[in-house]
């Protein structure tokens, strides 16, 4: 088990004088590395895993419904304790990835828990050998056990790809080695230094300069990013080659038909639904990104846009810095206006040390919300630097937090939401905050800037992430033919960029290396389509809300409370939506297109 940081797709920031930025108080997990409670839990976990294997290995088929429920509950308790330990170790590490003692502690915990839990590998393997009829009879006989049917269904979806017990244990043990490549990536990224206009910055601060008003500053940052990535490109290429090859070997042994199959299974989504999403987005490139960036090119007064202009502020944009207190007020007002229950859930994040907001040396870049375990609470990480878009990132990550708090009632095994639905509350929280800001706009210029910012975020979330997905598909397919040089990977990256961004752009020399810093490619292959899935789903959902759907708020809370206990079809049915209908995606994309229509109308 390890934390896979859910880095936000659009995390950016900038500025100073932000007020009192909160830091995590991790004592709700453990008071420190030497906490007696931590030692107690490690000792308990070692014994509990051994006892579980002794009591159940080779015996699942003999259990009645009540016995199988006891088995499941014991397994769930083990997951909770292990998850608590790994959450503490992982969160401390992401606060300061360059701290050798924190890295060692994370590695040590990872190794211990891998060793403790190796005897449990039999559990899912034996479950998959049970006859469907036997399980159905158990579910019929015991309602408490039947509640876990979605978990059983997801486990048994892997049944066709299951290896022998011995090989599964071997792969479980080997997981620690794969994680080492992820840590190499994280530590390399966190340790990079960039010098722009005489100032030495980390990657977060340098990427932030791409959103500066001054074009020369943006260009200097882009060129420095390219130079530093080029200096380290062999390391990044080695990480990607190794990770992709490891995945190819495991997929081949399992008989997975495509590199994407494992992700689709874990997301509980049908491949044809993802393909329908991808096709809808690619077909919409001309009416979305191509059209918007042509507008932006004119606003910026350029013959051609360069990559450092993609996230540039508009000429009329207010360059004000949003302090932390103002950001908190904005998001809380938007959440409370939708439903006071949202505000009640969100308030403790600000007051109890559940957010770590400041940019600090060695801190992981980006933003995420980590749910920890259902008996504690989530923690949100930001790199807050005071840009208006940082307020949207705060709204996004707090949406995740609300979702995780509500879903915790499902318990450890049912609370976790498939990635395709994990972005629902986060993107909806962003939309609420955006609409609140739009309603408060005092001038046409303010409205234009807000609309353009939202369109850009949506393009980054939908168009850019589908382009990322296509890049990954090409990367994994190419790696199956042999080792990829940095130039090979660069060429794959560039093959999707012009198509997705459109003819308004030119690409500077060096941009071909910008695949190197995207954490999703390393931590969670094919994760990225979940952003587009979530944005499209929420756009469709928000249009139902905007149309005045009766009882929407209650249905929305019920959907979030369901966590991972229901399939997307079942969750969306109360709203009259169906993601397996290709027209569903057009509904979401039309919302983005409609915002661009409004921007075009403001030009006439």
Q: What is the pLDDT of residues 148-161, one digit of tens each?
A: 999 999 888 888 89
pLDDT-derived band at 601, boundaries 50, 70, 90:
very high
Show the tokens assigned to 148. 């876990």
Q: What pLDDT sits at residue 588?
A: 87
pLDDT-derived band at 8, boundaries 50, 70, 90:
very low
Q: Is residue 7's pLDDT more than 80?
A: no
Task: State the average pLDDT over residues 346-372.
Answer: 94
Locate the DSSP E strands across 50-89. none
Q: What pLDDT sits at residue 16?
A: 62
Q: Is residue 13's pLDDT more than 70?
A: no
Q: Is residue 11's pLDDT more than 50?
A: no
Q: Is residue 6's pLDDT more than 80?
A: no
Weakest-pLDDT range from 172-186, 287-301, 510-524:
172-186
Instruction: Return d(Cα 10, Cα 389) in angstroms, integer.
Output: 8
Instruction: Return d(Cα 458, Cα 181) in angstroms, integer.
Output: 31
pLDDT-derived band at 552, boundaries 50, 70, 90:
very high
pLDDT-derived band at 95, boundaries 50, 70, 90:
very high
Residue in the structure block whose two tokens are 């330990």: 85
Q: Is residue 100's pLDDT more than 50?
A: yes
Q: What pLDDT sits at residue 545?
A: 92
Q: What pLDDT sits at residue 10?
A: 39
Q: What angle, 0 to 180 degrees and rounded to 10, lies between the N-to-C axes of helices 132-141 and 65-95?
A: 90
Q: What pLDDT sits at residue 165?
A: 83
Instruction: Return d(Cα 341, Cα 348) in angstroms, integer.
Output: 12
pLDDT-derived band at 359, boundaries 50, 70, 90:
very high
Residue in the structure block whose two tokens are 């530093």: 228
Q: What angle, 0 to 180 degrees and rounded to 10, lies between the N-to-C axes of helices 36-56 and 100-117?
A: 20
What mean pLDDT value characterizes the chain?
A: 92
Task: State the average pLDDT over residues 566-583.
Answer: 88
Q: Is residue 9's pLDDT more than 80?
A: no
Instruction: Return d(Cα 311, Cα 296) in angstroms, integer.
Output: 10
Q: What pLDDT sits at residue 229?
A: 97
Weakest-pLDDT range from 37-51, 135-149, 218-232, 523-537:
523-537
Instruction: Return d(Cα 318, Cα 315) in angstroms, integer.
Output: 9
Q: What pLDDT sits at residue 604?
A: 62
Instruction: Return d(Cα 534, Cα 532) in angstroms, integer.
Output: 5
Q: What pLDDT sits at residue 354?
A: 98
Of residues 496, 495, 585, 503, the one with CA closest to residue 540: 585
Q: What is the pLDDT of residues 257-266, one digit of tens each?
A: 999 999 998 8
Residue in the structure block whose two tokens are 């999707």: 496
Instruction: Return d(Cα 262, Cα 476) in angstroms, integer.
Output: 13
Q: What pLDDT sits at residue 5?
A: 41
pLDDT-derived band at 428, boundaries 50, 70, 90:
very high
Of residues 266, 254, 255, 317, the one with CA closest to residue 456: 317
Share of the chain above pLDDT 90, in %: 74
Q: What pLDDT sits at residue 317?
A: 76
Rg (CA), the chain: 24
Instruction: Return d(Cα 528, Cα 469) in angstroms, integer.
Output: 6
Task: State the average pLDDT over residues 219-233.
Answer: 97
Weakest-pLDDT range from 26-35, 170-179, 392-401, 456-465:
170-179
560, 339 Cβ separation under 8 angstroms: no
Q: What pLDDT sits at residue 430?
A: 92
Locate the DSSP E strands across 241-365. 355-356
Q: Sort strands 194-196 and 199-201 into parallel, antiparallel or unpaired.
A: antiparallel
DSSP structure class, residue 559: H
User: pTM for this one?
Assistant: 0.81
Measured CA to CA in angstroms, residue 3 lies from 52, 182, 364, 412 at distances of 24, 11, 13, 15
Q: How many residues are given for the chain?
A: 604
Instruction: Return d(Cα 207, Cα 215) in angstroms, integer.
Output: 14
Q: Is residue 3's pLDDT more than 70?
A: no
Instruction: Return d(Cα 558, Cα 542) in angstroms, integer.
Output: 16
**Distance between the two ends of the chain, CA-based, in angstroms?**
56
436, 334 Cβ separation under 8 angstroms: yes
Share of the chain above pLDDT 70, in %: 97
What is the sign of the dihedral through the CA atoms of 142, 151, 8 and 318?
negative
Instruction: Return d(Cα 1, Cα 3) in angstroms, integer.
Output: 7
């Amino acid at each position: 088990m390890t934390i896979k940081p859910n880095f936000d797709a659009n995390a950016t920031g900038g500025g100073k004088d932000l007020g009192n930025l909160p830091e995590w108080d991790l004592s709700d997990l453990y008071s420190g590395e030497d906490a007696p409670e931590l030692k107690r839990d490690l000792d308990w976990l070692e014994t509990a895993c051994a006892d579980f294997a002794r009591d159940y290995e080779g015996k699942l088929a003999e259990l009645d419904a009540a016995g199988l429920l006891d088995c499941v509950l014991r397994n769930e308790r083990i997951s909770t304790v292990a998850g608590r330990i790994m959450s503490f170790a992982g969160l401390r590490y992401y606060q300061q990835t360059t701290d050798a003692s924190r890295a060692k502690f994370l590695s040590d915990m990872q190794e211990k828990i891998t060793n403790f839990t190796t005897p449990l590998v039999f559990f899912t393997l034996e479950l998959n050998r049970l006859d469907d009829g036997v399980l159905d009879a158990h579910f019929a006989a015991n309602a408490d056990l039947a509640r876990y049917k979605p978990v059983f269904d997801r486990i048994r979806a892997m049944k066709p790809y299951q290896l022998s017990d011995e090989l599964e244990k071997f792969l479980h043990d080997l997981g620690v080695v794969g994680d080492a490549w992820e840590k190499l990536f994280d530590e390399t990224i966190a340790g990079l230094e960039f010098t722009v206009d005489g100032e030495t910055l980390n990657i977060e601060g340098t990427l932030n300069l791409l959103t500066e008003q001054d074009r020369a500053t943006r260009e200097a940052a882009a060129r420095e990013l390219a130079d530093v990535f080029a200096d380290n490109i062999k390391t990044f290429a080695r990480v990607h080659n190794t990770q992709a090859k490891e995945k190819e070997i495991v997929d081949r042994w399992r008989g997975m038909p495509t590199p994407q199959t494992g992700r689709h299974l874990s997301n509980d989504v049908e491949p044809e639904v993802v393909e329908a999403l991808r096709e809808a987005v690619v077909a919409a490139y001309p009416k979305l990104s191509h059209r918007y960036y042509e507008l932006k090119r004119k606003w910026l007064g350029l013959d051609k846009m360069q990559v450092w202009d993609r996230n540039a502020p508009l000429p009329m944009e207010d360059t004000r810095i949003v302090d932390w207190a103002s950001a908190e007020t904005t998001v809380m007002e938007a959440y409370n206006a939708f439903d006071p229950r949202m505000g009640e859930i969100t308030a403790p994040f600000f007051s109890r040390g559940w957010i770590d907001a400041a940019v600090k040396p060695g801190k992981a870049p980006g933003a995420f919300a980590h749910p920890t375990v259902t008996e504690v609470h989530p923690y949100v990480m930001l790199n807050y630097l005071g840009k208006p878009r940082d307020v949207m990132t705060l709204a996004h990550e707090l949406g995740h937090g609300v979702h995780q708090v509500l879903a915790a009632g499902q318990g450890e095994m049912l609370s976790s939401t498939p990635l395709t639905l994990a972005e629902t509350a986060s993107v909806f929280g962003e939309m609420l905050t955006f609409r609140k800001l739009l309603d408060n706009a005092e001038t046409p210029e303010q409205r234009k800037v807000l609309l353009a910012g939202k369109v850009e975020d949506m393009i980054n979330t939908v168009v850019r992430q589908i382009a990322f997905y296509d890049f990954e598909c090409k990367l994994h397919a190419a790696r199956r033919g042999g080792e990829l040089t940095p130039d090979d990977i660069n060429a794959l990256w560039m093959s999707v960029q012009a198509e997705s961004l459109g003819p308004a752009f030119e690409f500077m020399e060096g941009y071909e290396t910008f695949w190197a810093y995207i954490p999703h490619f390393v931590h969670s292959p094919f994760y990225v389509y979940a952003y587009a899935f979530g944005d499209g789903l929420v756009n469709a959902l928000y249009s139902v809300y905007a149309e005045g759907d009766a009882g929407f708020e209650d249905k929305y809370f019920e959907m979030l409370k369901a966590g991972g206990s229901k399939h997307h079809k079942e969750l969306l049915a109360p709203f009259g939506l169906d993601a397996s209908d290709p027209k569903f995606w057009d509904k979401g994309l039309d919302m983005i297109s409609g915002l661009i229509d409004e921007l075009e109308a403001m030009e006439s």
